[in-house]
Structure 1
Amino acid sequence: MRYGLGSEVLRNISFELKPGSIHFLTGPSGAGKSSLMRLLFLAHRPSRGLVTMFGRDVVSLDRDELPSLRRRIGVVLQDFRLLDHLSAIENVMLPLKIAGGEDRIIRAQAEELLSWVGLADRMAARPPTLSGGEKQRLAIARAVIGQPDLLLADEPTGNVDPAMAERLMHLFLELNKLGTTTVIATHDMAWVERIGAPQLRLDRGELTTIAAPAGAGTGSSRHGA
């Protein structure tokens, strides 16, 4: 993958995410983690090579076919991508509203999730009035509400205190147990060692897969990516 006419920021990369697996994406700053996340979220297409997701060759898909695939992916990027004109709870409800869910049921799910991430008293607030950590937690609630087939989280515990980081990581692990394939980009090696999931380690645009320690579990199966 390259941006414009620049040099390749990702190269010689080949890996598979097994259905229901969980991986940590690790590596130093500038290694290409956010770029790889953007490829997985279908925000960019590779400059060369093949990306197959949910059994589809996404490189050759027509642009109007991408939204239906993106709806199967929950994503937490560092720019959050919240809609400033909507309240916190409306932001969280949006993915299921687009999918045609019943408003009453969606609202109850959104309220439960916002309480879980510590935003029970901020449901009516709009993103511009929230702190960076609150926006991050709001983005996480929105990403997981639909139990996506694939969850991508870029430094999801970077702006929260240790107690909230524990709650958020528990949320990701529970979602993974329900079958969501999960990729978490992090600099926090303590979490990597504690959970014992395999690593996708990037360094200067190239990737090395590091297997999980013996005996580590990686969740159940539902759909592949």
Structure 2
Amino acid sequence: MRYGNGPEVLRDVSFTLEPGTFHFLTGASGAGKSSLLRLMYLAHRPSRGLVTMFGHDVASLKRGELPPLRRRIGVVFQNFRLLDHLSALDNVALPLRVAGARESQVKEHVAELLSWVGLGDHLNDKPATLSGGQQQRIAIARAVITRPSLLLADEPTGNVDDRIGMRLLHLFEELNKLGTTIVIATHNEMMIERFGYARMVLDKGMLQHLPRGGGATRIA
């Protein structure tokens, strides 16, 4: 993958995410983590090579065929991408409403999830009135509310304290137990060691895979 005519930021990267697996994605700043996530949530197409999502070759899909695939992917962005004019509840409810869920179910499920992440007293608050950590939890709740097939999270615990960070990781674990494939980009070594899931390591645009409890193997 490259941006415009610039150098390749990812090259010879090859891997398969089996359904229901949990991976950490690590690497120094500028190693290509965010670029790899962009390929995975279909914001970009590869400059060369093949990306297959849910059995579909992404390069061969027409523009109108991408939205149904994207709806199967939950994404937690570093900049949150919340809608400032909507309350916390309405931000999280948006994916359910787009999917046509009944309003009674929407409010019940969203309120329950926001309470679980410690925001039960902020359902009607707008993002601008909340702290960065609170906004991050809203973004995470929005990403997981539909129980996506694949969840991609870019530094999801970067703006919260350790207690909330652990609680969010347990939320990801519960989602994983229900069958969601999880990929979390992070620099938090303590969290990686504590949870012990397989790790994908990017270094200068190339990937190493460290299986759970095993050594490093380059995949290319």
TM-score normalised over the length of structure 2: 0.95
- Partner SS state of residue 121, structure 2: helix
Equivalent position amino acid for 1:36 in 2:
L
- Partner SS state of residue 74, structure 1: strand
1:185 matched residue in structure 2: 185
How far did residue 78 of structure 1 move? 0.4
The alignment-based identity, stated in percent, is 64
Equivalent-residue separation in structure 2 for 1:185 and 1:27 (angstroms): 9
1:151 maps onto 2:162 in alignment: no
Equivalent position amino acid for 1:97 in 2:
R
How far did residue 47 of structure 1 move? 0.8
2:77 matched residue in structure 1: 77
- Partner SS state of residue 191, structure 1: helix
1:20 matched residue in structure 2: 20
How far did residue 128 of structure 1 move? 2.0
2:41 matched residue in structure 1: 41
**Backbone CA RMSD of aligned residues:** 0.9
Q: Deviations over 1:51-90 (max 9, x none)?
A: 0010011111111111110000010010111111211100
Equivalent-residue separation in structure 1 for 2:129 and 2:32 (angstroms): 31
1:128 matched residue in structure 2: 128
2:8 matched residue in structure 1: 8
Equivalent position amino acid for 1:120 in 2:
G
TM-score normalised over the length of structure 1: 0.93
2:92 matched residue in structure 1: 92
- Matched residue count: 214
Displacement over 3 Å in runs of 4+? none
Equivalent-residue separation in structure 2 for 1:131 and 1:5 (angstroms): 39
Equivalent-residue separation in structure 1 for 2:48 and 2:199 (angstroms): 24
How far did residue 157 of structure 1 move? 0.6
1:57 maps onto 2:67 in alignment: no
2:198 matched residue in structure 1: 198
Equivalent-residue separation in structure 1 for 2:202 and 2:10 (angstroms): 9
1:223 matched residue in structure 2: none
1:114 matched residue in structure 2: 114
Equivalent-residue separation in structure 1 for 2:127 and 2:65 (angstroms): 30
